[in-house]
Amino acid sequence: MARRTRRLTARLLAIGLALGGAAGAWLSRHFGLTVSRNTLLRVIRRVPCPVMVPPQILSVDDFALRKRQTYDTILVDLEHGRPLALLPDREAETVAQWLREHSGVEVVVRERAEAARLGAPTACQVADRFHLLQNLADVLTDVFRTHTPQLARTHAQDLAVPPPLHDPAAPATGLQPLICAARPAPVVHRGGTTGLPAAHPAMGPLPAGVDLSSAGEDP
């Protein structure tokens, strides 16, 4: 029968709790500890569970054993960041029974309000951010789906009426809108100088004798 020192057992336990079986065995080999994944799991199972102190702030959420197929309920002590229990289903009565057996919960961060109401009626219920946004999105989807014809008519009316060029409520000033022609881009000549083109459709022909070779240069 193989024997291990307490120091070695403590090291294997720390590795197993942090990484689990397969990953823990892989890391142990790099530390010169030859151990299998099953041995690490046996070391973990031999450790007695710590005495659970009833939490004051409890989180109730789903836990996927197999994503999109099998879900349980996980209870977490948010004050200390420690998982407390993994319940075998997602029923509200199961969570309520656990709350009755572990009194002292003051705040329940929950997904299902019925469980907290039945198991801890005096506790303050808090909905987390994810489920708040999810509930809001569900309500808005139902509202938009219900009023789809009205929204379609309003959208059609907005497309039929052209937007005003000016604010009708603004006081009349008698000033006409100023329309400016686009300024032509500078042209780089072979000598390295920049200037405007000799003629541009927006400017018309240039007068004779006008030199624009230095146009656009800094004074």
For the chain (219 residues), the mean pLDDT of every run of 10, in chain order, is 81 92 92 91 89 88 85 91 90 92 89 83 86 88 90 84 64 54 55 53 52 50
- Identify the pLDDT of residue 63: 87
- DSSP H helices, the chain, are 6-19, 21-30, 37-46, 92-101, 113-119, 129-146, 148-160
- Identify the pLDDT of residue 197: 52
**Alpha carbon distance 59, 74 (integer Å):** 8
- Identify the pLDDT of residue 170: 57
Closest residue by Cα to residue 109 from 72, 75, 58, 63: 58
